[in-house]
Amino acid sequence: MFESLNIDTEKETRIINAATKVFAENGYQRASTNAIVKEAGISKGILFHYFKSKKELYLSLYEYLSDMFAEKIYERLDLEERDIFEIIRKVSLIKFEMFSTYPDLINFLNRAFHEEAPEVKDGIEKIKASLTDSSFIKLFSNIDATKFREGIDVEKAIQIIYWTFEGFANQQQVRVRTMSVADIDKEEILAEINSYTELLKKSFYK
Amino acid sequence: MFESLNIDTEKETRIINAATKVFAENGYQRASTNAIVKEAGISKGILFHYFKSKKELYLSLYEYLSDMFAEKIYERLDLEERDIFEIIRKVSLIKFEMFSTYPDLINFLNRAFHEEAPEVKDGIEKIKASLTDSSFIKLFSNIDATKFREGIDVEKAIQIIYWTFEGFANQQQVRVRTMSVADIDKEEILAEINSYTELLKKSFYK
Amino acid sequence: MFESLNIDTEKETRIINAATKVFAENGYQRASTNAIVKEAGISKGILFHYFKSKKELYLSLYEYLSDMFAEKIYERLDLEERDIFEIIRKVSLIKFEMFSTYPDLINFLNRAFHEEAPEVKDGIEKIKASLTDSSFIKLFSNIDATKFREGIDVEKAIQIIYWTFEGFANQQQVRVRTMSVADIDKEEILAEINSYTELLKKSFYK
Amino acid sequence: MFESLNIDTEKETRIINAATKVFAENGYQRASTNAIVKEAGISKGILFHYFKSKKELYLSLYEYLSDMFAEKIYERLDLEERDIFEIIRKVSLIKFEMFSTYPDLINFLNRAFHEEAPEVKDGIEKIKASLTDSSFIKLFSNIDATKFREGIDVEKAIQIIYWTFEGFANQQQVRVRTMSVADIDKEEILAEINSYTELLKKSFYK
DNA sequence: GATGAATGAGTGTTCATTCAT
DNA sequence: CATGAATGAACACTCATTCAT
């Protein structure tokens, strides 16, 4: 299941949505298969008919949602873009919009990123690696190095930029946790992204 | 217990060490009180005599170890130091040495930092806040802003510096996870810290 | 199905072979219908289309394989033979050869002989009885009693002979359990059969 | 638990009796821990507090009951006795009486002897081996070989005698399975034992 | 203070059987 | 004929917490 995106039955969709939500809210360990089947309105048996274990469910879901997420990013991203800040701004924007539409998806992915449960940690890492290899890093490997000031270690500068926006995203997540989706002030956040962008440009660029 | 640092009996020390270790290795949820009493060589009853619940044990431990950690940091830190990079370098160094001596402590604290279990999340946040208020932020609030180039938003620059070293620390942790304490190449890591420092100084400082 | 030996389709053969193997390896209870359909490469539905329950599958299989086994024995046995030891030696030999060719069949039958699962125990007993009545005991009922020494209770002597070779067979089975079919030293086993035969003849025969 | 026969609390006794009964009636696999705790009138938790798994419960029980059984046999057996038939008669008699008093014990032990469940099979074999080594075979290793007729392979003769009474016991068990303890005709069975004894003596002894 | 026996709801998972397609 | 999705009760086992001793 999931392998070839043939999620076309109503029941499959319900499982995916339910599992995404329950895992997003509870993390791997605390999420109970009982809660998932209840949320999905299905029987215990059918869950284990589709996925042979909770672990497999989680990992399949992770792979499916990562793929889907990457796809969405790519289909809206200008792959010719070589300015790192433009790339990050665009990705942030897309993430935002996806968060409004599919908050569970984004929450699931964010949580999975730091998941510590030993049953799935290695599996997540493997999927992450294969994804990153095949596609993600590409975004950053194509960066236009000539824009950076002389004497700057571009690779490390990119790392700093990445960590900055990762840190910012985490900070927002914590803030947002208690709000409803509607209450998030998108304009304010974008403004903050801009000021970090300005600061980093001023410091790293020619 | 713990409130006034009167950890003077041998049994208390054993509980602390055991709980630190078990929580460090498993996180809040997966850590079982059974594992803790077994590791400590004490009875179930006495654990719940000292701490009325697992939650209280965790939170007391967190507070105690945070305090202890902050104290160690402070007693070795030059409080007059106003250069943020010097502060960070020194803190990194102290953390390093503490990790060699008390790896469980550092692992516990790192893990607690990202702990998601709802039973303790708010409690952690509260303790963190009180600690930060009373002491930690002080380190960063005293920073010498005059060293930064004109037109740079110093507060945001400090955030970037913080996120950079946080990101770097996380990266190291992932790398280190599979190694034994002995195999860590301290010199190499310090060299990397230095090059990030150089890069950021060159970019942000006058 | 099976009643009239019309096992002529390829699919039926696959069910038989798969079920024989899975029951032989796991016994009635632990054998799962899932494992059987997987091994046979068929769907769940078709299994329960042919056999209305796991119990009926097992019992039909038992009857079919018992019959088949008895048939094989009979077609190669000299029915005029009235010396019990000759009969047993011949039966042992045939069993041996069948075990080399159809190890699952023999394993299934051996295991069924001691099967304790209440769902099928009575059914097995009934089939065993009808088989024994109609054919098996005949082998032993025709024994030449005049070969036994005076004063010997022939019926009981036959029982002893039977138990001896049954015990020997069980002993071999335990030994063989860990070996591959190829590693079994047929000559050695036949030599042992011979020495038990000699001993019993010397003791019971004139 | 069990290690040093300190089964002195009322609850422990209830667990032992309940587990013995449920395992005796159902074998390892079909016996459910639910049935055991219900029969014993205890909670689920306490069973797994004493025994860390169903497997450990079964094996501890097997060891305990085997030991107990062997002890009972030994304390009533004349160890100087070197006539194999006398030994077997006496053992049969003791078994009988034990069966009247503790039918579950004997049923458990008989069933365990042929238990096929892979979780416990090896464990049973190991315990059996250690028991046999230390004590049981002794009974048969001390047999007076001079009583056997010239030219008889005494070791094989003993095997035959053993298999005969084993087969007889199995036969009785099948017969008895449907009866209540009270309905068993002890005299008749002892008479049959005697006639097998007579036959074997006449055949093997001088 | 100190022990560890005791609880019972909760966990992930299995399974023979049915039935709409 | 044939499929495999669907069921739900049952399984072994875990766990934080309490309490009689």
**B117 close contact with A: CB closer than 8 A:** yes
Element spanning D197, H or E:
helix D186-204
**What radius of gyration, in Å, describes the C-alpha atoms of chain B?**
19
Distance separating alpha carbons of residues B167 and C201, to the nearest angstrom: 87
Which residues, including other chains, have CB under 8 Å from residue D34's CB and lie 6 or more apart? D44
pLDDT digit string, tens, across residues D63-121 = 999 988 888 888 888 878 889 998 888 888 888 888 888 889 999 999 999 899 999 99
Q: Which nucleotide is nearest to C45 (CA to C1')?
A: F3
Phi, psi of D80 (to 5 degrees): -80, -15
Which residues, including other chains, have CB under 8 Å from residue A169's CB and lie 6 or more apart? A92, A95, A110
Relative orientation angle of helices D10-30 and D103-113, to the nearest 10 degrees: 40
Q: What number of residues does chain B have?
A: 206
Cβ-in-10-Å burial (0-12, 13-18, 19+) of D155 comes to: exposed
For residue D70, what pLDDT is reported?
86
Task: Looking at the complex, report in whole angstroms how far the Cα of residue C46 sits from the nearest Cα belonging to chain D.
Answer: 27
**Is B177 a residue whose pLDDT tops 70?**
no
**Is D188 a residue whose pLDDT tops 50?**
yes
**Is B39 a residue whose pLDDT tops 50?**
yes
Site of tokens 């994804």: A131
Site of tokens 């150089």: B198
How far does the CA of D111 sit from the C1' of F13, in Å? Answer: 25
**A199 close contact with B: CB closer than 8 A:** yes
CA distances from C124 to C29, C61, C63 (A): 14, 11, 8
Phi, psi of B148 (to 5 degrees): -80, 150
Distance separating alpha carbons of residues A158 and A143, to the nearest angstrom: 9
pLDDT band of residue C17 (cuts 50, 70, 90) is very high
Average pLDDT over residues B92-117: 89
Q: Where are the domains of chain D?
A: 54-204
Q: Which tokens go with D177?
A: 């399975």
**Is A184 a residue whose pLDDT tops 80?**
no
Q: How many CB pairs below 8 Å do chains C and D form together?
A: 67
Which residues, including other chains, have CB under 8 Å from residue B113's CB and lie 6 or more apart? none
Site of tokens 């106003």: B82
pLDDT band of residue A204 (cuts 50, 70, 90) is very high
Average pLDDT over residues D179-183: 70
Distance separating alpha carbons of residues A139 and A79, to the nearest angstrom: 8
How far does the CA of C136 sit from the C1' of F1, in Å? Answer: 38
DSSP for A95-134 reads: HHHHHHH-HHHHHHHHHHHT---HHHHHHHHHHHHHHIII
Of C20, C17, C18, C15, which Cα lies nearest the Cα of C1?
A: C15
Task: Looking at the complex, report in whole angstroms how far the Cα of residue D199 sits from the nearest Cα belonging to chain C.
Answer: 7
Distance separating alpha carbons of residues C165 and C189, to the nearest angstrom: 12
Q: Does the CB of A100 fall within 7 Å of any strand E atom?
A: no
CA angle B38, B64, B119 (to 5 degrees): 70
Distance separating alpha carbons of residues D181 and B69, to the nearest angstrom: 72
Portion of chain C with pLDDT greater than 90, in percent:
50
**B151 close contact with A: CB closer than 8 A:** yes
**How crowded is residue B36: how many other Cβ atoms within 10 Å of its Cβ?**
22
- Which one of C156, C163, C199 has the shortest CB-CB distance to D199? C156
Of C27, C23, C53, C65, which Cα lies nearest the Cα of C40?
A: C23
Residues D53-87: b if buried by 16+ CB within 10 A, e if exposed: ebebbbbbbbbbbbebbeebbeeeeeeebeebbeb
Q: Does the CB of C43 fall within 7 Å of any strand E atom?
A: no
Mean pLDDT value across chain B: 86
**D195 close contact with C: CB closer than 8 A:** yes
**How crowded is residue C163: how many other Cβ atoms within 10 Å of its Cβ?**
21
Amino acid at B20: T
Of D52, D170, D58, D49, which Cα lies nearest the Cα of D123?
A: D58
Phi-psi region of B178 (alpha: psi -120 to 50; beta: other; left: phi over 0): alpha
CATH class of B54-204: mainly alpha
Interface test with A, best of B88, B156, B171, B204 (most A CBs within 10 A): B156
Task: Looking at the complex, report in whole angstroms how far the Cα of residue A90 sits from the nearest Cα belonging to chain B.
Answer: 20
**Is C5 a residue whose pLDDT tops 50?**
no
**Is B6 a residue whose pLDDT tops 70?**
no
pLDDT band of residue D5 (cuts 50, 70, 90) is very low
pLDDT digit string, tens, across residues D8-67 = 577 888 899 999 999 999 999 999 999 999 999 999 999 999 999 999 999 999 999 998
Q: Does the CB of B140 fall within 7 Å of any strand E atom?
A: no
Q: Are residues B160 and A116, on separate chains, in Cβ contact within 8 Å?
A: no
For residue A91, what pLDDT is reported?
87
Of A65, A51, A159, which Cα lies nearest the Cα of A110?
A: A65
Q: How far apart are the first and last CA of chain C?
A: 50
**C205 close contact with D: CB closer than 8 A:** no
**Is A4 a residue whose pLDDT tops 50?**
no
Interface test with D, best of C128, C155, C156 (most D CBs within 10 A): C156
**Is A169 a residue whose pLDDT tops 60?**
yes
**Is C47 a residue whose pLDDT tops 80?**
yes
**Residue D190 and residue D127 in contact, taking contact as beta carbons nearer than 8 Å:** no
Average pLDDT over residues A148-167: 92
How far does the CA of D178 sit from the C1' of F10, in Å? Answer: 28
Strand E, CB < 7 A, residues 27-56 of D? 42-46, 49-50
Interface test with C, best of D164, D172, D178, D201 (most C CBs within 10 A): D164
**Is A1 a residue whose pLDDT tops 60?**
no
**A32 close contact with B: CB closer than 8 A:** no
User: Is the torsion defined by CA of B32, B36, B38, B42 positive or negative?
Assistant: negative
For residue A142, what pLDDT is reported?
81
Q: Are residues B167 and A162, on separate chains, in Cβ contact within 8 Å?
A: yes
Element spanning B13, H or E:
helix B10-30
For residue D63, what pLDDT is reported?
94
For residue B142, what pLDDT is reported?
80
Distance separating alpha carbons of residues C108 and C59, to the nearest angstrom: 12
Q: Does the CB of C34 fall within 7 Å of any strand E atom?
A: yes
Site of tokens 């089975």: C173
**How crowded is residue D190: how many other Cβ atoms within 10 Å of its Cβ?**
13
Q: What share of chain A is helix, strand, coil (3-state, %, to 5)?
A: 80, 0, 20
Q: Are residues B164 and A160, on separate chains, in Cβ contact within 8 Å?
A: yes
Max Cα–Cα distance, chain C, nearest Å: 62
Residue of A nearest to B160 (CA): A164
pLDDT digit string, tens, across residues C128-183 = 888 765 555 677 778 888 999 988 999 999 999 999 998 998 888 777 766 666 77
Of D154, D167, D82, D165, which Cα lies nearest the Cα of C202?
A: D154
- DSSP class of residue A53 equals S
Which residues, including other chains, have CB under 8 Å from residue B132's CB and lie 6 or more apart? none
- Which one of C111, C152, C167 has the shortest CB-CB distance to D166? C167
**A178 close contact with B: CB closer than 8 A:** no
Of B97, B112, B9, B132, which Cα lies nearest the Cα of B60?
A: B112
Average pLDDT over residues B103-119: 92
**What radius of gyration, in Å, describes the C-alpha atoms of chain D?**
19
Q: Which bases of strand E sit closer than 7 A to a protein CB? A: 1-20
Q: Are there at least 3 beta-carbon pairs closer than 8 Å between D and A?
A: no
- Which one of C156, C164, C166 has the shortest CB-CB distance to D196? C156
Q: Which residue's alpha carbon is at the shortest distance from the C1' of F6?
A: A46
Which residues, including other chains, have CB under 8 Å from residue B89's CB and lie 6 or more apart? B193, B194, B197
Q: Are residues B167 and A168, on separate chains, in Cβ contact within 8 Å?
A: no
**B153 close contact with A: CB closer than 8 A:** yes
Task: Looking at the complex, report in whole angstroms how far the Cα of residue C199 sits from the nearest Cα belonging to chain D.
Answer: 7
pLDDT band of residue C43 (cuts 50, 70, 90) is very high
Average pLDDT over residues B40-56: 93
* C-proximal residues of D, 39-58, CB under 8 Å: none
Q: How many CB pairs below 8 Å do chains A and B form together?
A: 67
User: Is the torsion defined by CA of C185, C190, C195, C197 positive or negative?
Assistant: positive
For residue B199, what pLDDT is reported?
95
Contacts of residue B157 in chain A, CB cutoff 8 Å?
199, 203
Contacts of residue D111 in chain C, CB cutoff 8 Å?
116
Average pLDDT over residues B79-107: 87
Q: How far apart are the first and last CA of chain B?
A: 50
Interface test with C, best of D168, D178, D192, D199 (most C CBs within 10 A): D199
Average pLDDT over residues A20-46: 95
Which residues, including other chains, have CB under 8 Å from residue C124's CB and lie 6 or more apart? C59, C62, C112, C115
For residue C148, what pLDDT is reported?
93
D148 pairs with which residues across the strands? D205
**Residue A137 and residue A76 in contact, taking contact as beta carbons nearer than 8 Å:** no
Q: Does the CB of D39 fall within 7 Å of any strand F atom?
A: no
Distance separating alpha carbons of residues D154 and D144, to the nearest angstrom: 10
Distance separating alpha carbons of residues D12 and D4, to the nearest angstrom: 13
For residue D76, what pLDDT is reported?
86
**Residue A149 and residue A109 in contact, taking contact as beta carbons nearer than 8 Å:** no
Cβ-in-10-Å burial (0-12, 13-18, 19+) of D115 comes to: buried
Distance separating alpha carbons of residues B75 and A43, to the nearest angstrom: 59
**Residue C160 and residue D193 in contact, taking contact as beta carbons nearer than 8 Å:** no
pLDDT digit string, tens, across residues D155-178 = 999 999 999 998 998 888 777 766
pLDDT digit string, tens, across residues A106-146 = 999 999 998 999 999 999 999 988 876 556 567 777 889 99
- DSSP class of residue D203 equals H
Max Cα–Cα distance, chain B, nearest Å: 63
Portion of chain B with pLDDT greater than 90, in percent:
53
Contacts of residue C149 in chain D, CB cutoff 8 Å?
203
Element spanning A205, H or E:
none
**Residue A2 and residue A60 in contact, taking contact as beta carbons nearer than 8 Å:** yes
**Is D136 a residue whose pLDDT tops 70?**
no
How far does the CA of A67 sit from the C1' of F16, in Å? Answer: 39
For residue B160, what pLDDT is reported?
95
For residue C124, what pLDDT is reported?
93
Strand F, CB < 7 A, residues 25-44 of B? 30-34, 44
